[in-house]
Amino acid sequence: MSRTVLVAGGAGYIGSHVCKALADAGSVPVCYDTLEKGHAWAVKWGPLERGDIGDATRLDEVFIRHRPAAVVHLAGYIEVGESVRQPKRYLANNAGKTDALIAAALRHHVEAFVFSSTCAVYGIPQTDLLAETHPIAPISPYAESKVRVERALTIAAGHGLHAASLRYFNAAGADAGGEIGEAHDPETHLLPLAADAALGLGPALTLLGTDYPTPDGSCVRDFIHVSDLAQAHLKALDWLVSAPKGGVHEIFNLGSGTGYSVLQAVAETARIAGLPVPHSFGPRRPGDSPKLVGDVTKARLGLGWQPTRDLATQIEDTLRWRRKMPR
């Protein structure tokens, strides 16, 4: 369905892919971003409005100018390790400021609000696959900030908001057309760091933790292609717009449902690149869970969403992007 959508954090990695998917589907993405972490070069499919999600006056200006029918909220700080060192900064930016964005969405009567949550809200898994019903037990301030926003959205649903929290597992890969991709500074994610190490574009990789209770001692993660994630946002918007009136907040896991260890992902990168991935081993990073793999049945049945790009595709796209990305 064609609509104007305010994409908070749209200049970032996942947000720029959401903007592209929206535009491809005939909608107009209005990117709302401070550019503190995102990039003006990644805003290609609609207007860029610089602004902070905590700034109610600026939000009102932008809502009145563009009259978005929906909000996709991806704005936030994303580093688990940094959040452990700077908890107040993470809670203020990710949770505190989101209150202003939710209030603006209610004031301007948007039809749908989609929020980027994380599988990190589950903490240490008690089951092999994590379903949405798994207990919430965040072990980092980053994850805690996401739990707080989910709770705020449940309250906002009581005031009539139609909201979905999408708990992403590990976003990976890049646009197949090579137009956008992951460009964090510093980069902390495994696949881009492994690609850079293999291509000689970055330092040797340090693998964090060798003594986790997993088959090879490294963390196990569920990698999900960023373009598959982007498609899920479109499905969630359609689902929310057609939900019965009266307010709703629904939670969906977005992952592939398959786990790969860090060592397996590094070996796969070396195989696909045809180059070794230089690496060493370091201590565990505070705030990391041993294993996070999603049960994504609810998104499949509820949203009609299905991931289509496997780990090999994610690695191929990452290698192609890292060779050409602006640095």
Ligand X SMILES: NC(=O)c1ccc[n+]([C@@H]2O[C@H](COP(=O)([O-])OP(=O)(O)OC[C@H]3O[C@@H](n4cnc5c(N)ncnc54)[C@H](O)[C@@H]3O)[C@@H](O)[C@H]2O)c1
Q: Toward ligand X, which CB reaches closer, 192 or 279?
A: 192
Least gap, CB of 183 to ligand X (angstroms): 8
Both tokens of 27, joined, read 């909608």
Least gap, CB of 255 to ligand X (angstroms): 10
Least gap, CB of 118 to ligand X (angstroms): 4
Question: How far is 325 from 313, CA to CA, in rounded Å?
Answer: 18
Residues 6+ apart with CB under 8 A from 301: none
Handedness of CA 180, 112, 79, 9 (dihedral sign): positive
The answer to the question of residue 53 lying near ligand X (CB under 6 A) is: yes
Q: Which of 32, 90, 142, 212 is catalytic?
A: 142
Which of 3, 5, 13, 63 lies at the binding interface for ligand X (CB under 6 A)?
A: 13
Which of 3, 5, 7, 15 lies at the binding interface for ligand X (CB under 6 A)?
A: 15
Question: How far is 63 from 184, CA to CA, in rounded Å?
Answer: 28
Q: Toward ligand X, which CB reaches closer, 54 or 290?
A: 54
Please say if 142 is a catalytic residue: yes
Q: Toward ligand X, which CB reaches closer, 184 or 278?
A: 184
Which of 116, 231, 256, 289 lies at the binding interface for ligand X (CB under 6 A)?
A: 116
Q: Toward ligand X, which CB reaches closer, 275 or 310?
A: 310
- What letter does residue 325 receive in the DSSP assignment? S
Provide the H-helix boundaries in 25-140: 56-66, 80-85, 87-90, 97-107
The answer to the question of residue 76 lying near ligand X (CB under 6 A) is: yes
**In the chain, what is the straight-line distance between the N-terminal and C-terminal CA atoms, in Å?**
36
Both tokens of 170, joined, read 């590990």
Segment interacting with ligand X, rule: CB under 6 A, options 75-83, 123-131, 267-275, 307-315: 75-83
Total residues binding ligand X (CB under 6 A): 28
Taking Cα atoms as reference points, which of 95, 108, 80, 136 lies closest to residue 6?
108
Which of 23, 25, 34, 96 lies at the binding interface for ligand X (CB under 6 A)?
A: 34
Which of 97, 134, 233, 309 lies at the binding interface for ligand X (CB under 6 A)?
A: 97
Neighbours of 211 (CB within 10 A): 11
Q: Toward ligand X, which CB reaches closer, 37 or 322?
A: 37
Burial 118-156 (b: 16+ CB within 10 A, else e): bbbbbbebeeebbebebeeebbbbbbbbbbbbbebbbeb
Lookup result for tokens 């640095």: 327
The answer to the question of residue 118 lying near ligand X (CB under 6 A) is: yes
Q: For 24, how many CA atoms within 13 A lie in the half-sphere containing its CB?
A: 13
Q: Beta strand 260-261 with 220-221: parallel, antiparallel or unpaired?
A: antiparallel
Least gap, CB of 16 to ligand X (angstroms): 8
Q: Is 102 helix (H, G, I), strand (E, B) or coil?
A: helix
The residue sitting closest to ligand X, measured at its beta carbon, is 12
The answer to the question of residue 83 lying near ligand X (CB under 6 A) is: no
Q: Which 244-303 residues touch ligand X, going by CB under 6 A?
A: none
Question: How far is 80 from 138, CA to CA, in rounded Å?
Answer: 11
Which of 6, 11, 139, 205 lies at the binding interface for ligand X (CB under 6 A)?
A: 11
The answer to the question of residue 9 lying near ligand X (CB under 6 A) is: yes
Show the site string, 156-175: x = touches ligand X by CB under 6 A, - = not.
------------x-xx----
Site residues for ligand X per CB under 6 A: 8-9, 11-15, 33-38, 52-54, 74-76, 78, 93, 97, 116, 118, 168, 170-171, 184
Catalytic amino acids?
142
